[in-house]
Protein backbone atom coordinates (compact mmCIF):
# COMPACT_ATOMS: atom_id res chain seq x y z
CA UNK A 1 0.00 0.00 0.00
CA UNK A 2 1.53 3.35 -0.96
CA UNK A 3 2.34 5.75 1.82
CA UNK A 4 -0.44 8.29 2.15
CA UNK A 5 0.77 11.85 2.01
CA UNK A 6 -0.86 14.16 4.45
CA UNK A 7 -0.16 16.67 7.13
CA UNK A 8 -0.64 14.60 10.26
CA UNK A 9 -1.29 17.63 12.43
CA UNK A 10 -4.09 18.75 10.15
CA UNK A 11 -5.51 15.26 9.83
CA UNK A 12 -5.44 14.79 13.59
CA UNK A 13 -7.20 18.09 14.09
CA UNK A 14 -9.96 17.09 11.68
CA UNK A 15 -10.23 13.58 13.10
CA UNK A 16 -10.56 14.90 16.65
CA UNK A 17 -13.49 17.03 15.44
CA UNK A 18 -15.28 13.96 14.19
CA UNK A 19 -14.12 13.89 10.58
CA UNK A 20 -14.47 10.21 9.71
CA UNK A 21 -12.40 10.50 6.52
CA UNK A 22 -9.54 12.01 8.47
CA UNK A 23 -9.65 9.14 10.93
CA UNK A 24 -9.66 6.79 7.95
CA UNK A 25 -6.34 8.28 6.84
CA UNK A 26 -4.88 7.64 10.27
CA UNK A 27 -6.22 4.11 10.12
CA UNK A 28 -4.54 3.49 6.76
CA UNK A 29 -1.27 4.83 8.03
CA UNK A 30 -1.12 2.89 11.29
CA UNK A 31 -3.05 -0.35 10.82
CA UNK A 32 0.01 -2.39 9.83
CA UNK A 33 2.16 -1.01 12.62
CA UNK A 34 -0.39 -1.62 15.33
CA UNK A 35 -1.18 -5.07 14.00
CA UNK A 36 2.51 -5.99 14.00
CA UNK A 37 2.97 -4.72 17.52
CA UNK A 38 -0.04 -6.64 18.84
CA UNK A 39 0.83 -9.74 16.84
CA UNK A 40 4.35 -9.99 18.23
CA UNK A 41 3.13 -9.21 21.75
CA UNK A 42 0.47 -11.93 21.66
CA UNK A 43 1.89 -14.45 19.19
CA UNK A 44 -1.63 -15.25 18.13
CA UNK A 45 -3.11 -14.19 14.81
CA UNK A 46 -6.77 -14.18 15.81
CA UNK A 47 -6.21 -12.37 19.07
CA UNK A 48 -3.96 -9.91 17.24
CA UNK A 49 -6.79 -9.11 14.85
CA UNK A 50 -9.30 -8.81 17.66
CA UNK A 51 -7.06 -6.54 19.72
CA UNK A 52 -6.07 -4.45 16.71
CA UNK A 53 -9.74 -3.88 15.97
CA UNK A 54 -10.29 -2.84 19.57
CA UNK A 55 -7.34 -0.43 19.42
CA UNK A 56 -8.88 1.44 16.51
CA UNK A 57 -12.38 1.33 17.92
CA UNK A 58 -11.09 2.79 21.16
CA UNK A 59 -8.97 5.36 19.33
CA UNK A 60 -11.98 6.46 17.31
CA UNK A 61 -14.17 6.75 20.39
CA UNK A 62 -11.58 8.80 22.26
CA UNK A 63 -9.86 10.79 19.56
CA UNK A 64 -11.79 13.90 20.56
CA UNK A 65 -9.83 13.70 23.83
CA UNK A 66 -6.49 13.48 22.04
CA UNK A 67 -4.24 16.47 22.62
CA UNK A 68 -0.89 16.99 20.96
CA UNK A 69 1.66 17.12 23.76
CA UNK A 70 4.65 16.97 21.48
CA UNK A 71 4.66 13.20 21.20
CA UNK A 72 3.72 11.46 17.96
CA UNK A 73 0.18 10.21 17.46
CA UNK A 74 1.61 6.73 17.08
CA UNK A 75 2.69 6.88 20.75
CA UNK A 76 -0.95 7.41 21.72
CA UNK A 77 -2.01 4.43 19.60
CA UNK A 78 0.77 2.25 20.96
CA UNK A 79 -0.31 3.20 24.48
CA UNK A 80 -3.83 2.01 23.76
CA UNK A 81 -2.45 -1.19 22.21
CA UNK A 82 -0.12 -1.71 25.17
CA UNK A 83 -2.99 -1.43 27.65
CA UNK A 84 -5.20 -3.81 25.70
CA UNK A 85 -2.38 -6.33 25.34
CA UNK A 86 -1.65 -6.08 29.07
CA UNK A 87 -5.31 -6.80 29.82
CA UNK A 88 -5.21 -9.68 27.36
CA UNK A 89 -2.18 -11.21 29.10
CA UNK A 90 -3.79 -10.76 32.51
CA UNK A 91 -6.99 -12.46 31.37
CA UNK A 92 -5.07 -15.26 29.67
CA UNK A 93 -2.93 -15.94 32.72
CA UNK A 94 -6.09 -16.36 34.77
CA UNK A 95 -7.50 -18.88 32.35
CA UNK A 96 -4.62 -20.89 30.97
CA UNK A 97 -1.01 -20.92 29.90
CA UNK A 98 -0.29 -19.38 26.52
CA UNK A 99 0.74 -21.98 23.96
CA UNK A 100 4.03 -20.33 23.09
CA UNK A 101 4.69 -22.55 20.13
CA UNK A 102 1.32 -21.64 18.68
CA UNK A 103 2.79 -18.96 16.49
CA UNK A 104 1.05 -19.19 13.14
CA UNK A 105 2.50 -18.69 9.72
CA UNK A 106 1.51 -15.24 8.59
CA UNK A 107 1.78 -13.66 5.15
CA UNK A 108 4.65 -11.24 4.95
CA UNK A 109 4.35 -7.63 3.84
CA UNK A 110 4.46 -8.71 0.22
CA UNK A 111 1.36 -10.81 0.76
CA UNK A 112 2.63 -13.33 -1.78
CA UNK A 113 2.61 -17.06 -1.05
CA UNK A 114 6.28 -17.39 -1.90
CA UNK A 115 7.10 -14.70 0.62
CA UNK A 116 5.24 -16.39 3.44
CA UNK A 117 7.03 -16.31 6.74
CA UNK A 118 7.96 -19.82 7.69
CA UNK A 119 9.69 -19.84 10.99
CA UNK A 120 12.41 -22.26 11.89
CA UNK A 121 12.56 -23.94 15.28
CA UNK A 122 15.36 -21.57 16.11
CA UNK A 123 13.18 -18.56 15.40
CA UNK A 124 10.32 -20.02 17.39
CA UNK A 125 12.70 -20.49 20.32
CA UNK A 126 13.93 -16.92 20.01
CA UNK A 127 10.35 -15.61 19.85
CA UNK A 128 9.49 -17.54 22.99
CA UNK A 129 12.42 -15.93 24.77
CA UNK A 130 11.43 -12.48 23.52
CA UNK A 131 7.92 -12.96 24.80
CA UNK A 132 9.26 -13.78 28.23
CA UNK A 133 10.94 -10.37 28.42
CA UNK A 134 9.30 -7.49 30.29
CA UNK A 135 6.74 -5.65 28.16
CA UNK A 136 8.84 -2.54 27.60
CA UNK A 137 11.74 -4.62 26.29
CA UNK A 138 9.45 -6.49 23.94
CA UNK A 139 8.10 -3.17 22.72
CA UNK A 140 11.60 -1.86 22.15
CA UNK A 141 12.60 -4.90 20.07
CA UNK A 142 9.41 -4.78 18.03
CA UNK A 143 9.82 -1.07 17.28
CA UNK A 144 13.48 -1.50 16.41
CA UNK A 145 13.33 -4.60 14.26
CA UNK A 146 9.79 -4.81 12.94
CA UNK A 147 9.25 -1.08 12.48
CA UNK A 148 12.90 -0.21 11.84
CA UNK A 149 12.64 2.87 14.04
CA UNK A 150 15.65 4.74 15.36
CA UNK A 151 16.41 5.01 19.05
CA UNK A 152 15.19 8.61 18.98
CA UNK A 153 11.87 7.61 17.42
CA UNK A 154 11.48 4.73 19.86
CA UNK A 155 12.23 7.13 22.68
CA UNK A 156 9.43 9.43 21.56
CA UNK A 157 6.96 6.56 21.55
CA UNK A 158 8.12 5.06 24.82
CA UNK A 159 8.55 8.36 26.60
CA UNK A 160 12.28 7.87 27.18
CA UNK A 161 15.40 9.67 26.09
CA UNK A 162 17.43 8.37 23.18
CA UNK A 163 20.22 7.43 25.59
CA UNK A 164 17.82 5.55 27.84
CA UNK A 165 16.55 3.57 24.87
CA UNK A 166 20.08 2.75 23.80
CA UNK A 167 20.91 1.57 27.30
CA UNK A 168 17.73 -0.47 27.61
CA UNK A 169 18.41 -2.05 24.23
CA UNK A 170 21.88 -3.12 25.24
CA UNK A 171 20.63 -4.58 28.51
CA UNK A 172 17.90 -6.39 26.60
CA UNK A 173 20.44 -7.99 24.27
CA UNK A 174 22.54 -9.09 27.22
CA UNK A 175 19.51 -10.54 28.98
CA UNK A 176 18.48 -12.38 25.85
CA UNK A 177 21.95 -13.76 25.35
CA UNK A 178 22.01 -14.97 28.96
CA UNK A 179 18.64 -16.67 28.53
CA UNK A 180 19.84 -18.34 25.35
CA UNK A 181 22.78 -19.66 27.32
CA UNK A 182 20.66 -20.75 30.28
CA UNK A 183 18.28 -22.67 28.05
CA UNK A 184 21.10 -23.98 25.87
CA UNK A 185 19.47 -22.80 22.68
CA UNK A 186 21.58 -23.14 19.58
CA UNK A 187 21.21 -20.53 16.87
CA UNK A 188 22.48 -21.19 13.39
CA UNK A 189 24.97 -18.72 11.97
CA UNK A 190 25.03 -17.49 8.41
Partner 1 sequence: MSTSKLTSMPEDDLNDLEAHLAGTLRPVAPRRDFVQRLRERVHLPPRAEIATRLRDWQTLVLVVGGVISGTLVIITVARAMFHLFGKRNVG
For binding to partner 1 (CB under 8 A), which residues are involved?
A: 18, 20-21, 23-24, 27-28, 31-32, 35-36, 39-40, 48-49, 52-53, 56-57, 60-61, 64, 106-111, 117, 119, 122-123, 126-127, 130, 141-142, 145-147, 170, 173-174, 176-177, 180-181, 184-190
- Compare residues 93 and 122 and give the one whose CB is closer to partner 1: 122
Shortest distance (Å) from residue 33 CB to partner 1: 9
Q: How far is CA 56 from CA 14, 35, 72, 143, in A?
A: 16, 10, 16, 19
Closest by alpha carbon to 46, among 91, 96, 88, 78?
Answer: 88
Shortest distance (Å) from residue 170 CB to partner 1: 8
- Compare residues 52 and 156 and give the one whose CB is closer to partner 1: 52
Shortest distance (Å) from residue 66 CB to partner 1: 13
> Packing angle between helix 45-62 and helix 73-95, nearest 10 degrees?
130
- Compare residues 13 and 123 and give the one whose CB is closer to partner 1: 123
SS (H, E, C) 48-105: HHHHHHHHHHHHHHHHHHCCCCCCCHHHHHHHHHHHHHHHHHHHHHHHCCCCCCCCCC
Residue pair 150/185 in contact (Cβ under 8 Å)? The answer is no
- Compare residues 93 and 150 and give the one whose CB is closer to partner 1: 150
- Compare residues 86 and 117 and give the one whose CB is closer to partner 1: 117
Amino acid sequence: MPELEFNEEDVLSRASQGDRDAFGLLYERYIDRIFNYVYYRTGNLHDAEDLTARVFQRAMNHIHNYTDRGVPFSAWLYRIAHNLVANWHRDRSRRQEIPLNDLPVVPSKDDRPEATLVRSQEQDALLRLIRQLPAERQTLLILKFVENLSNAEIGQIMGRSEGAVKSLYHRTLLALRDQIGDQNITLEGD
